[in-house]
Structure 1
Amino acid sequence: MSLVVKATELEVKPWLRQVDLRSVGAMVIGLVNRSSGEAARDGAHQSAGATRAAAVKPVIVGDVDDVSVGTAMKVFVIRMESMATEAGKTVNVGDKNERALVSFNVTVNGTMNPIGIQQVHGIGGCDVSRGNWVHDDSYPLYEASSCPFIEKEFDCVKNGRPDKDYLKYRWQPLGCNLPRFNGIDLLRRLRGKSIMFIGDSLSLNQWQSLTCLLHTAVPTAKYTSVRSGELSTFTFPEYNVKVLFSRNPFLVDIVSTSSGRVLKLDSISLENQKLWTGVDVMIFNTWHWWLHTGRKQAWDLIEEGGKIIGKDMDRLVAYEKALNTWATWVDSQVDPAKTKVFFQGVSPDHSNSSDWGDPKAGSCNGQTEPLPGPSYPHVHPAEKVAEKVLRAMPKPVQLLDVTNLSQLRKDGHPSFYGLGGHRASDCSHWCLAGVPDTWNILLYADLAGS
């Protein structure tokens, strides 16, 4: 049984003229005709629902030697082998300007390269995950001192960090240029809307970055900042824009019982579901708290399917189960026509310098410059899991692909110039101004291009 996708000529977007398609693994933009493809697509999704993408086994039957950049891009025939589709079902690509909600593999020089039409690594088709940090005298985009609401733990300058070069780096992807952040433009685009960061303190890091970027753009505009429990709300009344942060380190539930704190891998509380419903833009994040052990571990027992399965388990396996629970909620509850969903990606720490090939350095302490790009020596294992889950989702979710670019910034952490000072080095969070500003440039680039 197979789903045959017949490719036609597609219009090349302006940014594609700057892209060497072979160097980034033959990036392919696909647009699917709903009228002819809906039945096959929906059938595939229903079958894959329980096991996510496991039912689909993509096989390439064309070649990419003729893929080139010009006024049009020729793509090729792909056969999607799937238990969920009937033989010979045909989808015409390129008719209706609608995204195909499937992923496929492209053979380039004998190797299989995963390409998601949702562009898991891309913003509008540009692969932003590989590049270099370049010195830019126009940076930083703001002074932390101009944003009195920034948490003390992130204001490295105020905390006495002596070096300043870490403030002067701009992320430059290999294949394209990112727009400069335009806070006034973003506020106008978000007028009357809400944007929420949901996750741990790395989401707080990004939320604080965005609020300062926006405040810097409209320094005389009134704002309010209110915290109620685990929800913080930053409002620009003039634009009727709310920028929210909901502290939720696991996305799934932890419940206190007589037996202890129970981590429920397949449960999202009605309270959180209600909080997320109706938000216009959501950026989810989870990873760091899955690593904690000992006194910092947030649970005593783990539950799945209504049964306690133990006190602990492989953390990556648990992480994937929780992400699939979150993905199921997004797939069943989010209307893409009304709500844009992002996953922040995994923010790396730099606690062990052996990870970047310099065991004598120890950690992020004393680091003053980035690593050279375009890629970090290894792919983060949690990022692999996150991408696997995202690729299997029927509903479009955009990955803010911050992992590789952040892995290169061993110099960007507070280290001794955070909350703990010289008593406790912080190689997990990020100085502001700093790396999270680039995460928000990626966010802005996607929202501005939507």
Structure 2
Amino acid sequence: MRKEEACDISLGEWVSNPDGPYYTNASCSTIQEHQNCMKFGRPDTGFLKWRWKPQGCDLPIFDPLQFLEIMSGKKMAFVGDSVSRNHMQSLICLLSTVEEAVDVSEIPYWSQFKRYEFRKYKLSIAIFWSPYLVRTSQEDPADKNSESRPFNLFLDEPDPKWTQEIPGFDYLIISAGHWFFRPTMFYIQGRLAGCLYCPQSNITHLTSYFSYRRAFRTAFRAIIQQANFTGITFLRSFAPSHFENGYWDKGGDCVRQRPYRAEETRLEGYNMEHYRIQLEELKIAQRMGRGRGLKFRMMDVTRAMLMRPDGHPSKYGHWPKPNVTLISDCVHWCLPGPVDSWNDFLIELLRREEELGRVQSI
């Protein structure tokens, strides 16, 4: 076993990296406006000069050429919400330093589903929008006030928009998180089982933990039961937000300009509970998947990202508007920015899978 394989890359510190970043907002065309922090005048650049250093080993900086060679002829899909899309966009930006991605999406502008090809390497990368992972509906979704309307979550029914698409993919990167804090109605076997942040007094009021656990359990079982999927699933762990001095809609912001040290913060509260739920449901999926020869792996970025309050767009995801108060974004990540490190994690996990496959074939 290699030293790196014995090393838990989820534990460590952020250390100085004067060579970063490895692309710019001018060199990558897949950066969405609300993550283009330098375009909108972010004055500090120190948040671009850090890399993740695990305890007891090193985590190499992402090598785009090596990634393309490892993934040559393969298909990778991201499943989740806009933070999942944020990760995929980071990967596209890094790979585009070697080969420009070709957008082969049915809709050319940014939509909920995107596909890219790196044709020299016959690599396909897709994103499937499914912020709850399970089937959802919403009353009057076209209404201008739809943001405040609750979603109906059918917690025992996987979302067919992604489960029907995954056959043929070699790797899935599945994640979900911040949408589970929105007003929601919970259904199990077609019957209303409870709600989160609903005004009705005659409905059982439950927490986000209830829906989070059941959504991941349903998603993992849908993968296991998909007869035509034989790939590897990576669960990308929960990435905490960093609102300070108020909730997201009450003036909260994230203005810090450097990472925390490990001793300056700790995983607790709802961040810890959601992370724990992911670990528990992943272990269940791993046991169930063995019978079909399916692999479920953890891409554990939670502690690393807990320490990066400096990496969010804050108010630099848009131009200021006179006499208009705009909400600061402390959920998504600037591009380039700390989210690029997720691809350091990803390529290391892919290297380990390659080496494990070679050992098993001997």
TM-score range, shorter chain: 0.7 to 0.9
Structure 2 counterpart of 1:416, which letter?
Answer: K
Residue 316 (structure 1) aligned with residue 205 (structure 2): no
Deviations 1:95-128 (A, max 9, x none): xxxxxxxxxxxxxxxxxxxxxxxxxxxxx33211
Supply the AA of the counterpart residue of 1:398: R
TM-score, normalised to structure 2, is 0.81
Return the TM-score normalized by structure 1: 0.65
Q: Which residue of 1 aligns with 2:156?
A: 266
Structure 1 match to 2:166: 276
The residue that corresponds to 2:313 in the other structure is: 414
1:367 pairs with 2:256: yes
Please state how far the C-alpha of 1:224 moved relative to its aligned partner: 2.7
Equivalent position of 2:103 in the other structure: 224
Structure 1 SS opposite 2:165: helix
The residue number in structure 2 matching 1:247 is 129
1:98-117 to structure 2, matched below 5 A, reads none
- CA 1:240–1:304: 2 relative to 1, 3 Å: same
Cα deviation for residue 272 of structure 1 reads: 2.8
Structure 1: distance between partners of 2:313 and 2:332: 7
Which residue matches 1:8?
none
Greater CA drift, 143-152 or 159-168: 143-152
Change (3 A) 1:304 1:212: same
- Alignment correspondent of 2:218: 325
Per the alignment, in what secondary structure is the counterpart of residue 156 of structure 2? coil
Amino acid at match of 1:289: W
Separation of aligned partners in 2, 1:388 and 1:187? 32
User: Structure 1 pair 343/132, CA: closer, same or farther in 2 (3 Å)?
Assistant: same
Structure number with larger C-alpha Rg: 1
Percent identical across equivalent pairs? Answer: 29
Higher relative contact order (CA 8 A, sep 6+): 2
Do 1:364 and 1:411's aligned partners in 2 also have CA atoms closer than 8 Å? no
Q: Which runs of 5+ in 1 are unaligned?
A: 1-12, 17-123, 356-361
C-alpha contact 1:182 1:217 (8 A) present in aligned 2: no
How far is 1:347 from its partner? Answer: 1.0
Deviation at 1:257, TM superposition (A): 7.2
Aligned residue pairs, count:
316
Q: Which residue identity does 2:220 align to in structure 1? A: A
What residue in structure 2 maps to residue 306 of structure 1? 190
Partner secondary structure for residue 156 of structure 1: coil
- The alpha carbon displacement at 1:256 in A equals 5.0
Contact 1:375 1:404 in 2 (8 A): no
Cα distance, 1:192 vs. partner? 1.7
Aligned partner (choices 225, 233, 250) of residue 341 of structure 1: 233
Q: Is the 8 A contact 1:131 1:374 kept in 2?
A: no
In structure 1, give the amino acid aligned to 2:54: P
Change (3 A) 1:354 1:256: closer
C-alpha distance 202-420 of structure 1, shift in aligned 2 (>3 A): farther
Residue type of the alignment partner of 1:305: Q
Cα offsets for 1:210-264 (capped at 9, x unmatched): 000000133xx46235354521011112211111111110000113579x85310
What RMSD in Å do the two structures reach over aligned CA positions?
2.5
CA contact (8 A) 1:191 1:241 kept: yes
Which of 287, 300, 307 is 1:401 aligned to?
A: 300
Check conservation: 1:222, 1:238, Cα contact below 8 A.
Answer: no
Task: Give how far 1:348 is off.
Answer: 0.6
What is the aligned partner in structure 2 of residue 386 from structure 1?
Answer: 278
Structure 2 CA distance for partners of 1:366 and 1:310, relative to 1, 3 Å: closer
Q: Give the AA of the match of 1:236.
A: F
Distance 2:350 2:118 in 1: 18
Distance in 2 (CA, whole Å) between partners of 1:236 and 1:378 is: 38
Q: Does 1:14 align with 2:2?
A: yes
Residues 399 and 435 of structure 1, relative CA distance in 2, 3 Å threshold = same
Q: Does the CA-based 8 Å contact 1:323-1:386 persist in structure 2?
A: yes
Distance 1:216 1:410 in 2: 27
Measure the CA separation in 2 of the matches of 1:364 and 1:125: 38
Q: Is the 8 A contact 1:159 1:418 kept in 2?
A: yes
Counterpart AA for 1:226: S
1:442 and 2:350 aligned: no
Amino acid at match of 1:246: F
1:269, distance to aligned residue in structure 2 (A): 3.9
Amino acid at match of 1:390: L
- Higher mean alpha-carbon deviation, 345-354 vs 130-139, is at 345-354
Spell out, residue by residue over 1:61-94, the C-alpha distance to the aligned partner (whole angstroms, 9 max, x if none): xxxxxxxxxxxxxxxxxxxxxxxxxxxxxxxxxx
The CA distance in 1 between the partners of 2:81 and 2:261, in whole Å, is 28
Aligned partners of 2:311 and 2:48: how far apart in 1? 8
**2: distance between equivalents of 1:159 and 1:256?**
33
Evaluate the alpha carbon distance shift between residue 323 and residue 191 of structure 1 in structure 2; reply closer, same or farther with a 3 A threshold: same
Deviation at 1:136, TM superposition (A): 1.0
Amino acid at match of 2:171: V
1:319 partner SS: helix
- Contact 2:267–2:306 (8 Å) recurs in 1: no
Equivalent residue for 2:358? none
Which letter maps to 2:262? G
